[in-house]
């Protein structure tokens, strides 16, 4: 049995995988996105009284936003004269990067993520990109924060600043509205360990 895996690769392998992250949950109610999430959690040492399968709440909110939001107006607010209705909108969501080789997502992953966005912007002039980082720049460079890294953190922030200055990029910041961003986008791209892909797919958005 593997005790260090955030998830099992398939339903058939549920009994072979465990992770302490999901153990010892003792709430009265657990809200699961689907029956597989509920089943996998039940295999751990939990004292949850009731498991409820409710689907993805954020997906429902995105579907509702699709009906209510004026996509064209928002995109013109975001991109000004650089927007036209022939552009494809790509929403990019990163994750929490940590400067440690033991972390599932390192600062090197963050550097590659932002470099890839810069690359595709250079290759395709028919796209506009909305970026919502999970953390503010201080996360990477403020020595008072737990996971800052003076060297690689500066490199990540440098790439972020480069993207902020690009006229075909709207930098939503770490407080950006996820629901609105996914709703007005044609494609959602997320780094691993980010839930936005599942939320977009649940709303029948391409991801």
In the numeric block, the tokens 């107006």 are attached to: 73
- At 98, is the secondary structure helix, strand, or coil? strand
The pTM assigned to this predicted structure is 0.86
**Rounded Cα gap, residues 175 and 15, in angstroms:** 38
Chain-centre distance for alpha carbon 2? 26
| 62-90 pLDDT, tens digit each | 999 999 999 999 999 999 999 999 999 99
Task: Please report, for residues 9, 31, 33, 93, 194, the alpha-carbon distance to residue 178 in angstroms, rounded to integers and kept in the order given.
Answer: 27, 21, 18, 9, 12
More confidently predicted of 40 and 66: 66
């Amino acid at each position: 049995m593997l005790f260090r895996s955030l998830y099992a690769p398939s339903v058939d392998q549920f009994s072979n995988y465990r992770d302490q992250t999901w153990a010892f949950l003792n709430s009265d109610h657990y809200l699961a996105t689907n029956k597989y999430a509920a089943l996998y959690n039940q295999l751990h040492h939990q004292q949850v009284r009731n498991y409820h399968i409710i689907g993805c709440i954020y997906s429902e909110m995105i579907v509702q936003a699709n009906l209510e939001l004026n996509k064209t107006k928002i995109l013109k607010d975001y991109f000004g004269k650089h927007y036209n209705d022939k552009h494809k909108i790509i929403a990019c969501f990163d994750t929490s990067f940590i400067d440690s080789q033991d972390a599932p997502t390192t600062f090197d992953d963050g550097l590659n993520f932002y470099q890839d966005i810069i690359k595709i912007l250079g290759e395709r002039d028919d796209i506009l990109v909305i970026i919502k980082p999970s953390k503010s720049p201080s996360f990477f460079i403020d020595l008072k924060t737990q996971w800052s890294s003076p060297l690689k953190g500066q490199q990540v922030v440098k790439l972020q600043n480069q993207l902020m200055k690009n006229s075909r990029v709207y930098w939503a910041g770490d407080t950006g509205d996820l629901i609105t961003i996914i709703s007005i986008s044609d494609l959602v791209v997320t780094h691993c360990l980010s839930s936005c892909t599942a939320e977009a797919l649940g709303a029948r958005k391409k991801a």
